[in-house]
Structure 1
Amino acid sequence: MAKKKAKSKTRPNSTQSTNTNNVEKELPFVSICTPTFNRRPFIKTMFECFKNQDYPQHRMEWIIVDDGTDKIKDLIETSNIPQIRYFEIDNKLALGAKRNYMHKHVKGSIIVYMDDDDYYPPERVSHSVEKLMSDEKALCAGGSEIYVYYKSMDKMMQCGPYGPNHATAGTFAFKTKLLEDTKYNDDAALAEEKAFLKDYTVPFVQLDPLKTILVFSHDHNTFDKREMFKTSHPDFFKESTKTVDTFIRKPHEENVKQFFMKDIDELLEKYEPGLPAMKPDVLIQIEKIKKERAELIEKEIQKQKENGPIVIQQGDGKPPIQLNNLQVVNLIKKLQENNAELVTKNNEIQTQFEPIKLQQDGDKPPIPLNNIQVVTLIKKLQEDNNELLRKNTELDSAYNKLQNTVLVMEKTILELKS
């Protein structure tokens, strides 16, 4: 009997295992794509992010395209990750061309991007697959809302969301059939998303930021993310209460957290091949984008000038503020409210004081005087009073002289009598 019980216990486990295998077989095969260039200090942590994925490992392949001058083939060979398909390229490619090259080698029905210097949570692949499979119309998934941690400032900044069909490439996951209708611009060295998403018209689904990516600002960033503090609109770039622990929260990820929070600075300081200066094509395109952005801003300013923009002077040496239509409407409403309030207060004050009235002769009604008339009347009365005082002084003097004359005459009369 005991043996039968033992045997009955193993059957459900065997069935459960079979069911699990069947479910996993039904899961889409995923091609993870990573372009890399001189990022040796990051690679082992990148391996950890892949190994920590909760998506079945046998349902993934990992395509890594390396066009760096410091190839990572040695790290690949010792990684113990059989899913890696490593491609070495002798000549440096622009990022757009490199992504197109990766796409030519994928075998999966879903492609998931994992860049070489960012943190990707264990749910990165499974969450992307789930969102894409749950929406038949969606061809691409990504995060328009992402978070960037600035370790030197100890600030977590929220970027976006910018729109329902927008995302940065590092968050992309898409159905391979999307490649039948779009590709990257081969010359794009960065900011390559807009063209690939056909001006953000590709059917899209948004991903949960906590299950997608955490970007760390560091000295080897292709685009210096500290520039975002200077160029980003405050509506789309603001400090967040989230922390690194909000993202890297699983106990087995301590090594990953250790790398990004402590080890990274010293490793990058000693690794010159990863400096942005080693990517002249990117630096050229950054300057080009800055120039185009400056020209676009100038055109927009000129356009607004032609349309007669409303500008508010701030004073105290502060630059004037240019208002959009909604802000103008809100300002007018606020001024109307303030004006109504001032009128009410003025009426209340007026009722507290009786107006000054000037009495007229006869039966004529008194004349109410305004403030200016009252002031003028007071000045006139002061002048009249001063004139009366002057005349009174003259009369006093004449009276004194007359009195002295009388005294002299009386004295003379007395002398004549004697």
Structure 2
Amino acid sequence: MKLVSCIMPTSAARQQFIPLAIDYFLRQDYPDAELIIIDDSPQSQEYLIPASPKLAYVHLEPRSWSVGIKRNYACSRAKGSIILHWDDDDWYAPDWISRQVQVLEQTGAGICGLDRLHFFNPSLQQSWQYIYDYDSRPWVAGATMAYLREVWERRPFPDMQVGEDNEFVWNAGVAVVAHDHTDGFISLLHGRNTSPKHTSHRQWKPMPVTVVQQILGADLERYAFCHQEPQ
């Protein structure tokens, strides 16, 4: 079984999300995985990290690194032959890693992920499905991305704060596969998202919030704190 390295850049602004992201990782049904947490908060947040051989926490002194550079640093510390993005503020189903590995192995692709994904705003109790249709170039969302380590070694992420994942996909020079496990991932909309979300654009299709609520199940209650966040 291949070792999968999940990488999670984070910061002090995501303090409330970090324990959730770690829990979603620890309950994965894929046994051979590690989570590398790269934190550039002013103060260490290691107290949020439970003791586990699967977790590696690195606290960096605050610096002006872009998300792209943080991803490269995390990848450089990865031990696995497959690297998987683990965004600190999103929800992942317990079989998420297993499905990502399965897609890469069965298709022979270098990169996989979703090009149709669920978004949920807990504060507004609204949800959307985002459907990528900009052009003919293959694309998968950065938060859902898995790829072979050798793909990253040949072409690391560009030094960009927003859009580094898009450039990585479009310039990797490998097969990119968008799979259909859309219920395995939910992106959370809140007042501290890294990139803006334009829900009025044509790619965003409103969907019944009950769909997302059913997928989240008992995890829905974990996002009650979002009701107090500025939008």
**Counterpart in the other structure of 1:36:** 10
Runs (4+) of structure 1 moved beyond 4 Å?
Answer: none
1:276-295 alignment runs, 5 A limit: none
**Counterpart in the other structure of 2:21:** 46
Displacement of 1:209 after TM fit? Answer: 4.1
1:289-328 alignment runs, 5 A limit: none
1:220-239 alignment runs, 5 A limit: 220-225=192-197, 228-230=198-200, 232=201, 234=202, 236-239=203-206
**Higher RCO (C-alpha 8 Å, min separation 6):** 2
1:112-127 alignment runs, 5 A limit: 112-127=84-99
| Distance of 1:155 and 1:119 partners within structure 2 | 16
| Distance of 1:211 and 1:173 partners within structure 2 | 17
Matched, 1:168 2:168: no
Displacement of 1:176 after TM fit? Answer: 1.0
Displacement of 1:164 after TM fit? Answer: 6.9
Unaligned runs of 5+ in 2: none
Of 77, 87, 95, the residue aligned with 1:105 is: 77
Paired residue total: 226
Supply the AA of the counterpart residue of 2:6: I
1:59-138 alignment runs, 5 A limit: 59-76=32-49, 79-92=50-63, 93-136=65-108, 138=109
Deviation per residue, 1:77-98 (Å, 9 max, x gap):
xx13221111111133110000
| Distance of 2:146 and 2:76 partners within structure 1 | 16
Structure with the greater alpha carbon radius of gyration:
1
8 A contact 1:28–1:110 mirrored in 2: yes
**SS at the partner of 1:258?**
helix
Displacement of 1:175 after TM fit? Answer: 1.0
**Counterpart in the other structure of 2:220:** 257
8 A contact 2:116–2:182 mirrored in 1: no
**SS at the partner of 1:69?**
coil
| Distance of 1:164 and 1:54 partners within structure 2 | 32
Aligned Cα root-mean-square deviation (Å): 2.1
**Counterpart in the other structure of 2:211:** 243
8 A contact 2:113–2:141 mirrored in 1: yes
**SS at the partner of 1:122?**
coil
TM-score, structure 2 normalization: 0.89
- Which has the larger share of helix? 1
| Distance of 2:75 and 2:22 partners within structure 1 | 21
Supply the AA of the counterpart residue of 1:73: E
Supply the AA of the counterpart residue of 1:259: R
Percent identity between the two aligned chains = 26
- Which has the larger share of strand? 2
Unaligned runs of 5+ in 1: 1-26, 270-274, 276-418
**SS at the partner of 1:229?**
coil
Displacement of 1:67 after TM fit? Answer: 0.9
| Distance of 2:90 and 2:204 partners within structure 1 | 19
Matched, 1:144 2:106: no
Displacement of 1:131 after TM fit? Answer: 0.5
| Distance of 1:196 and 1:88 partners within structure 2 | 25
